[in-house]
A and B are shown apart, each in its own frame.
Chain A
């Protein structure tokens, strides 16, 4: 009886669905988080009678066949890169990207990662770093004499130095973008890495070509919509129950067979 294993594939799929939804809900308050969606596909079909095969010598053909599908499988979980809301934090080193583009981060192993979470800080030498202490590319150092830092929409970083009238330019932030940002590999800690599917990064200044602008003193919240996640969770749970009902029914049918008096 295939129904047993078909029901099992359905339960596994819904389990993954619940896992993806719960991760979205868990990251409701994660800066720069992009929600994911689980995508499913039907499995192969067994052809008992092939559609379109000849049903007589006079050339009549079967208008429909007998095809039994074998269940479902998860096809992908993909990130939905909708812009999150911007919340004002008034912290001068909180930078939100409004539009396309990722901040570039230098990982301790020398490779580059990408992030939308712009809650930056200064390390002991005055360099701009992420909350994990990883340096931002290109590297920017803020002198200890700076009393205020301004980041404008096009990513220029300016500092007001004590005793000076003119602001001093410290550097220029650069953003990276990809042909298919959904193809980036999430490595946790709000970081993403380049893959073959995402394509190579295209870097540029904020506000130039297709890049978004920088908003100082704000952070991008996660783009998780709690109401739709809860609705999805309910649907997934009910679908899980229904699949277990299928297994139950198939089991009952087999049990009926076993109880036949001989």
Chain B
């Protein structure tokens, strides 16, 4: 007897989660390198009688929209954006490698190119790139090659190459917060992508999409609530009417 209410309740729970996802997208509308998340719903079929069943709602999965965000110039020579697929490699304090699209970098006190949280960015060969303190200008090429003019000399010195890697399945990458992702997949060099110096990739959240999504979620939630109330009333009426006819 209770099943209509329970089906609607499963819907409401899934919608609450959908609202949380939308809220997180909106909150991260200004987060460098952020990728918006979407949610997949699924039906959970519970057989009640032969040939009949109840479809409960199940929020099956979230997925990341890996589309590129807009690339915006900042004027900082250590701000990098990746045009195309791929991730920068970052060394975490635990010694593991994490991946990020957030290319707002700086130099740490040892002169290594690192993230704003101080984690060194890895170059080809898995080594951080150290910039000597006599450098007046750092150039980073399309392929990530770091060159610099040292001691006002005529020649550019090669300092290393920031490596960009890609993966077979980006959805398998676990977000770890702080713009970092982890994965156990084997990386391949992203040769078709290139690095843009002096710019960052903004979040790919589309305000219109999120607000529309939010309205849809809210209205669906209201509808489910109304239906639960009506179902409750129906049961109430049934009980009152049936009890009157029996006696």
B19, B172, B177, B229: the one within 8 Å of A45 (CB) = B177
Question: With a CB–CB cut-off of 8 A, which chain B residues contact A197?
Answer: 108-109, 118
Q: How far is the CB of A6 from chain B (nearest CB, A)?
A: 4
Q: Does residue A26 face the partner (Cβ distance < 8 Å to B)? A: no
Q: Does residue B134 face the partner (Cβ distance < 8 Å to A)? A: yes
CA distance A257 to B32 in the complex (A): 36
Question: With a CB–CB cut-off of 8 A, which chain B residues contact A260?
Answer: 225, 228-229, 232
User: Which single residue of chain B is at the shortest CB-CB distance from A101?
Assistant: B136
Given A42-B28, A66-B59, A180-B106, A51:B174 Cβ within 8 A:
yes
Q: Does residue B237 face the partner (Cβ distance < 8 Å to A)? A: no
Helix, strand, loop or mixed for chain A's interface? mixed
Among A9, A177, A242, chain B packs the most CB atoms within 10 A around the CB of A242
Tell me whether B106 and A183 are in contact (CB under 8 A): yes
Tell me whether B211 and A242 are in contact (CB under 8 A): yes
Tell me whether B133 and A199 are in contact (CB under 8 A): yes
For A233-258 the 0/1 string (1 means CB < 8 A from B) is: 00110110011011001101100110
Q: Does residue B135 face the partner (Cβ distance < 8 Å to A)? A: yes
CB-based A-B contact count at 8 angstroms? 226
Tell me whether B30 and A40 are in contact (CB under 8 A): yes
User: Which single residue of chain A is at the shortest CB-CB distance from B131?
Assistant: A179
Tell me whether B29 and A239 are in contact (CB under 8 A): yes
A76, A80, A257: the one within 8 Å of B116 (CB) = A76
B32, B59, B225: the one within 8 Å of A39 (CB) = B32
Q: How far is the CB of B149 from chain A (nearest CB, A)?
A: 8
Question: With a CB–CB cut-off of 8 A, which chain B residues contact A177?
Answer: 133
Given A1-B16, A45-B176, A99:B104 Cβ within 8 A:
no
CA distance A75 to B16 in the complex (A): 28
User: Which single residue of chain B is at the shortest CB-CB distance from A70?
Assistant: B24
Mark B residues whose CB is within 8 Å of A.
12, 15-17, 19-24, 26-32, 34, 37, 39-40, 59-63, 74-76, 102, 104, 106-111, 116-118, 131, 133-136, 149-152, 169, 171-179, 184, 207, 210-211, 214-215, 217-218, 221-222, 225, 228-229, 232-233
A-B contact pairs, 27 of them (CB 8 A): A14-B30, A42-B24, A42-B31, A42-B177, A42-B179, A47-B174, A50-B174, A62-B61, A64-B40, A65-B61, A65-B174, A66-B60, A68-B17, A71-B23, A72-B31, A78-B76, A78-B104, A178-B133, A179-B109, A179-B133, A182-B107, A236-B30, A239-B30, A245-B214, A246-B214, A250-B19, A253-B221
Given contacts A64-B62, A68-B20, A246-B26, 12 further A-B contacts (CB under 8 A): A4-B23, A41-B177, A42-B34, A80-B74, A82-B75, A179-B107, A179-B133, A199-B110, A246-B22, A257-B225, A260-B228, A262-B232
